[in-house]
C-alpha cells in the first residue's frame, strides 16, 4: 500500500471502530438514528470547514491543528468514558450522549482528514493532475469500512451480556489510545511537555511493527498504537486503560442488575 492508501486505512479505522461498537449496542434497541444523523452531519461539517481552509487564503498552523486534534481527542475520551459507565451500570444512554460520542469520535480526526481529502482533490484537478492520491485515499477508506463492518457484525452476533462487557473493554482500550493521542497533540501544540526520563522512548518495536506497514497503520488507527512511545505516553495509557478494563470486565454488575439480557439491552436505550 502507498502512503495515501495507508492514511485512508488509518483514518477509517480511527473513526469507524468506535462508531461500529456503538452502533452494535444501540441496534438492539433500534436507536441508531442519532448515530447515523450525527455521523453524516459531523462529516459534512468538517469537509466544509476543510474545504474553506484548503482553498482559502490562510491555512491553520501545525500548532492550531494539533490544538484542535488534542482538545477534541480529550473530549472524546470523556464522552466514551461516560458511555461505558452507563453501559456497565445498566442505565440507558440518552440520545445526547450518543450524539456527543459520535461527533467527537469523528471530530478528533475530522480537521486533519478533511484537509487531507481536499489536498488530494486539489492534486487531482491541478496543472499536473493526478488522481492517484484521491484513489489511494478512497481505497484505504473502503478497506477500513469492510473491516469496521466485520467488527460490527461480530459484535451483533454475540449475546447481550457478553456484548456489553467486551464492548465496554474494547471502548476502554480505544479511549486509552485517544488519551495518548490527545496528550501528544497538545504537547505538539505547545502545552508543557515531558522532559528528562519521561520523554525517553519506553521501548522500540519499529523493526517488528513498522509504522508504515499495513498492520502498523491498522493498529495505530484502532488503538493509536505507537511502536516507539515515550515513557509519558506509556504511563498515560496504563493509568487509563487498567482501571477502565477492570471496570469493564468486572464479573458483577454496578447499580442496576446486569445479569439478564433485558437489562443489557436497556443499556443502550436512547
Q: What contacts 159, CB < 8 A, 6 or more positions away?
A: 261
Give the mean pLDDT of 9-36: 89
Bigger pLDDT: 87 vs 174: 174
Q: Which residues of 221-259 are buried (b: 16+ CB within 10 A; e: fewer)?
A: bbbbbbbebbbbbbbbbeebbeebbebbeeeebeeeebe
Residue 161 has pLDDT above 90, yes or no: no
Q: Which range among 68-77, 166-175, 206-215, 252-261 shows the weakest confidence by mean pLDDT?
A: 252-261
For the chain, what is the radius of gyration of the CA atoms? 19
The set of residues, in sequence order, having a beta carbon less than 8 Å from that of 44 and lying 6+ positions away, is: none
Residue 258 above 50 pLDDT?
Answer: no
pLDDT at 150 over 80: yes
Mean pLDDT value across the chain: 86
Q: Give residue 260's pLDDT.
A: 39
Q: Within its chain, how far is the Cα of 133 from the centroid?
A: 23
> In this structure, how many other beta carbons lie within 10 angstroms of the beta carbon of residue 166?
15
For residue 230, list its beta bridge partners.
201
What is the sign, positive or negative, of the torsion defined by CA atoms of 235, 239, 244, 250?
positive
**Residue 97 pLDDT:** 93
- Which grid coordinates belong to 58? 490562510
Instruction: Report phi then psi at 267, rounded to 5.
Output: -65, -20
8's grid cell: 485512508
Examine the pLDDT at 162 and tell me if it is beyond 90. Answer: no
Q: Which residue has the higher pLDDT, 269 or 55?
A: 55
Q: Could you give the CA distance from residue 163 to residue 126 in angstroms, rounded to a whole number?
A: 48
pLDDT in tens, 112-136: 999 999 999 888 886 677 888 899 9
> What confidence tens digit (pLDDT) does each residue in 28-76 have?
777 889 999 999 999 999 999 999 988 887 788 888 999 999 999 999 9
Amino acid at each position: 500500500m502507498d502512503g495515501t492508501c495507508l492514511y485512508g486505512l488509518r483514518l477509517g479505522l480511527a473513526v469507524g471502530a468506535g462508531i461500529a461498537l456503538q452502533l452494535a449496542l444501540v441496534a438492539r434497541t433500534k436507536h441508531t438514528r442519532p448515530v447515523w444523523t450525527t455521523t453524516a452531519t459531523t462529516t459534512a461539517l468538517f469537509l466544509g470547514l476543510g474545504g474553506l481552509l484548503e482553498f482559502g487564503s490562510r491555512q491553520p498552523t501545525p500548532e492550531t491543528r494539533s490544538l484542535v486534534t488534542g482538545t477534541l481527542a480529550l473530549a472524546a475520551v470523556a464522552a466514551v468514558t461516560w458511555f461505558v459507565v452507563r453501559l456497565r451500570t445498566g442505565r440507558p444512554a440518552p440520545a445526547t450522549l450518543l450524539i456527543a460520542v459520535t461527533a467527537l469520535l469523528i471530530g478528533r480526526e475530522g480537521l486533519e482528514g478533511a484537509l487531507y481529502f481536499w489536498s488530494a482533490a486539489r492534486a487531482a484537478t491541478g496543472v499536473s493532475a493526478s488522481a492517484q492520491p484521491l484513489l489511494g485515499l478512497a481505497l484505504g477508506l473502503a478497506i477500513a469500512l469492510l473491516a469496521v463492518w466485520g467488527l460490527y457484525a461480530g459484535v451483533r452476533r454475540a449475546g447481550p451480556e457478553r456484548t456489553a462487557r467486551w464492548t465496554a473493554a474494547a471502548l476502554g482500550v480505544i479511549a486509552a489510545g485517544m488519551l495518548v493521542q490527545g496528550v501528544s497533540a497538545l504537547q505538539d501544540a505547545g502545552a508543557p511537555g515531558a522532559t528528562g526520563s519521561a520523554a525517553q522512548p519506553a521501548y522500540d518495536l519499529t523493526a517488528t511493527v513498522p509504522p508504515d506497514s499495513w498492520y502498523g497503520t491498522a493498529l495505530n488507527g484502532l488503538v493509536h498504537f505507537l511502536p516507539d512511545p515515550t515513557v509519558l505516553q506509556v504511563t498515560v495509557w496504563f493509568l487509563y486503560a487498567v482501571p477502565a478494563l477492570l471496570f469493564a470486565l468486572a464479573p458483577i454488575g454496578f447499580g442496576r442488575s446486569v445479569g439478564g439480557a433485558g437489562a443489557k439491552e436497556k443499556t443502550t436505550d436512547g
